[in-house]
Amino acid sequence: MSEELRPSDAGDSEAIDEVRATDADAWATACAEDLAAEKARRRTEYGPPPGSAAEELRRLVDTVAEKLDKLSGLQSPLLGAVAGPAAQQVVKQVVQQAKAAVEPVIERNPDVFDHLAAAGNELLAAYRSAVQAQEGRWTSRDTAPRDLDESPRDKGDEAGPGQRIDLD
């Protein structure tokens, strides 16, 4: 009743390994192609993905600087033509100082901004959870609000919910 396994040739084993290797490569290639196609589809549907928090901060500073530069170029009827060039110079100086202060921080600590963004998202999620839980408690009340303390004690002349204590 014993069945003997026939000895395998070394050539057969190498051929099987080669087929497995090409199959694994084909699988990896197909997965990579599918992933690239999905990324391209999402990029066209939702736009480019956001960059890191440091890149976003840099873009914010550049955008604010650009908008302030445009606003400083407008002539204000209240300030007149005399204050216009001086105001433009002050705005440009403030923008340059802000950029000079932000850029080194971004360059030295790009990961800190990612951590701050993640912490902000976690705080927002915790706040949202707390608010939803409280709203659930508020909306789940079936009856009108009533006195929560229904003990048969003498309330006396008190107006508040506290209990009277004799100190004598």
pLDDT (mean) for 36-55: 84
Q: Quote the DSSP letter at residue 42.
A: H
- Determine which of 37-41, 62-66, 92-96, 151-155 has the lowest per-residue pLDDT on average: 151-155
CB 73 within 8 A of CB 87: no
Q: What confidence tier does 154 reach under pLDDT thresholds 50, 70, 90?
A: low
Contact partners, residue 98, CB within 8 Å, separation at least 6: 61, 65
Label residue 25 exposed, middle or buried (CB < 10 Å: 0-12, 13-18, 19+). Answer: exposed
pLDDT digits 0-9 by tens, 19-35: 666 666 888 888 899 99
pLDDT digits 0-9 by tens, 111-142: 888 888 889 999 999 999 999 999 988 888 76
Question: What's the pTM value of the predicted model, to 2 decimals?
Answer: 0.40
pLDDT (mean) for 160-165: 72
Map tokens 């087929």 to a residue: 19
Q: Residue 70: its pLDDT value, please?
A: 75
pLDDT digits 0-9 by tens, 58-96: 888 888 888 877 776 665 555 555 556 676 777 778 888
